[in-house]
Amino acid sequence: MVSIDHVTQKILTYLPYVLVLMDMRYEGVKCGKDGSVDNHMEMGKKLLAAGQLADALSHFHAAVDGDPKNYMAYYRRATVFLAMGKSKSALPDLSRVIELKPDFTSARLQRGNLLLKQGKLDEAESDFKRVLKSNPSDKEEQEATTQLAKSDELQRLVTQAHRSYSAKDFPTALAQLDVIIETCIWDVTSREMRAECFIQMGEMGKAISDLKALSKLKNDNTQAFYKLSTIYYNLGDHEMSLNEVRECLKLDPDHKQCFGHYKQVKKLNKQIQSAEELIREQRYEDAVSKYEAVMKTEPNVPQFSHLAKERICHALSKAQQASRAVSVCSDVLRFNPENVNVLKDRAEAYVQDEQYEEAIKDYETAAKHSENDHQIKEGLDRAQRLLKQSQRRDYYKILGVKRTAQKKEIIRAYRKLAQQWHPDNFQDPEEKKKAEKKFIDIAQAKEVLTDPEMRTKFDHGEDPMDPESQQGQHHPFHGGFHGFQGFNPFGSGPFNFKFTYN
């Protein structure tokens, strides 16, 4: 354990050094316009040259604080701001430089260039003229002359663009604004006008690009966020619409347009998310009802109706409601024939409805637009196998049951048909021969469809009773009807079939 005296002794040992450091720090602050400002300026220049912008900026901040009338401190800080891409911060510093030293042509030229980029053409022109009236270097004179001519040309174009826009000649206005914005990249007014031109011409993607730039160029730009939200909404992107309208409300919680739109988007977004959750939970009928509610919530934006119908098509296909699925999917494909997801869902519904040729057409069309989709390839292979199978022997058709039939339904159908076509019921040799063949088909169908493994093979296009597909494998009906001699499922007559019904 350390004694108190020992600790005190340590403190007293280091105290002189602490006092010296404190005194040095005090002297650095106290010197004000003397050594400390020069030191900060020198350190700032070295750090700027080394590319250490943040550190350089802190030194120039200190220099400005130490001497608020040192125009070079403001100029150096403006240079760092420009290097960091912070032109908004650089502009006040350049103005302060010109205020302190009106004949500083480099600062005035840089300010003129920034004003030009902001679209403040009159102010920029004034700076370029002042540079030419002073005593500029050859390089400064050449740059000022070039920029002054550019400013004059841009002013002419701005007048023409406003005239074209007022006349609703949006393509012409757009071409003129493109030239303006190429130089005046931070010009809020020109970008707002160009965004509106894009909207009027239906080029929403380009309008979004300009509106996003505006939301950064202009502080508290609620209108840009509102327009972005409505554009995304009309494009059917409810999530992006919700994000943008929330940004609007962050700036102004009482914004009437944004708040009203927010309630609508939030309700729709919640319904769509709920519907998708129901699909993940395999509650397909509930998902259909929820998407029907989506169409009622927003009947005026076609994109949401298309989305709802597309997902209803998917849910019905998964629920194996083939006829309804085909109808809804076909409705979607009338508007968008290349929708791969809907083509796949309708193809699956066609398979469920045993319309294999139609399913093959849909899978082939989908494959043209999505060549590497394994689901399409597997679906197409399956549909082709089932078509080939249906052209030979279909055990479901033999028993007259649906592909979704349960085991009890299959056994019930088998018993009825076996009783009807039992060979003992026929005396005529030809009719008896026909009944024997029919009876074997019925027995084979029951055998396949009540055995889970064989039924799975059959559903995937393989016939478990086909000798070609069962090479070398024995199956109970190989060799014809004579193999059943002595069997009778009803316990009478010369046949004594011991088929089980469980």
- Confidence label for 362 from pLDDT (cuts 50, 70 and 90): very high
86 phi-psi bin (left φ>0, alpha ψ -120 to 50, beta other): beta
Q: Flag whether 21 is in a domain.
A: yes
Report pLDDT for 463: 82
Give CA 277 to chain center in angstroms.
Answer: 18
26-55 confidence digits (pLDDT tens)? 333 333 444 699 999 999 999 999 999 999
Encoding tokens for residue 251? 């700036």
Q: Whole-angstrom Cα distance, residue 173 to residue 197? A: 8
Q: What is the CATH number of the domain that holds 404?
A: 1.10.287.110
Report pLDDT for 460: 83
Is the overall model pTM greater than 0.75, yes or no?
no
Res 477 pLDDT > 70: no
Report pLDDT for 30: 36
Q: Flag whether 95 is in a domain.
A: no
Q: Cβ(210)–Cβ(194) under 8 Å?
A: yes
Q: What angle do CA 125, 131, 135 make, to 5 degrees?
A: 160
Report pLDDT for 411: 94
Burial class (CB in 10 A: 0-12, 13-18, 19+), 445: buried
Q: Whole-angstrom Cα distance, residue 346 to residue 314? A: 8
Nearest CA to 308 out of 238, 402, 215, 210 is that of 238
Res 323 pLDDT > 80: yes
As beta bridge partners, residue 292 has none
Res 502 pLDDT > 60: no
Q: Cβ(383)–Cβ(365) under 8 Å?
A: no
What is the pLDDT averaged over residues 146-166?
A: 96
Give every CB contact of residue 209 below 8 A, 6+ residues apart in sequence.
none
Q: Flag whether 149 is in a domain.
A: no
Q: Flag whether 60 is in a domain.
A: no
Q: Flag whether 434 is in a domain.
A: yes
Question: Percentage of the chain surpassing pLDDT 90?
Answer: 74
Q: Flag whether 114 is in a domain.
A: no
Q: Flag whether 19 is in a domain.
A: yes
483/280: higher pLDDT? 280
- Pairs from 25-34 (Cβ < 8 Å, separation ≥ 24): 32/66, 32/67, 33/66, 33/67
Q: What angle do CA 68, 70, 74 make, to 5 degrees?
A: 85
Encoding tokens for residue 206? 């380009």
Q: Flag whether 454 is in a domain.
A: yes
Domain of 414 in residue numbering reads as 395-465+474-484
Report pLDDT for 157: 96
Structural domains counted in the chain: 2
- 3-state SS string over 296-344? HHCCCCHHHHHHHHHHHHHHHHHCCCHHHHHHHHHHHHHHCCCCHHHHH
Q: Cβ(464)–Cβ(457) under 8 Å?
A: yes
Report pLDDT for 45: 93
Q: Whole-angstrom Cα distance, residue 360 to residue 431? A: 39
Report pLDDT for 35: 65
Q: Whole-angstrom Cα distance, residue 360 to residue 358? A: 5
Give every CB contact of residue 403 below 8 A, 6+ residues apart in sequence.
352, 354, 396, 459
Report pLDDT for 11: 35
436-465 confidence digits (pLDDT tens)? 988 999 999 999 999 999 999 888 878 888
Q: Whole-angstrom Cα distance, residue 97 to residue 131? A: 14
Q: Whole-angstrom Cα distance, residue 220 to residue 233? A: 22
Taking the alpha carbons of 174, 177, 182, 187 in that order, is the dihedral positive or negative?
negative
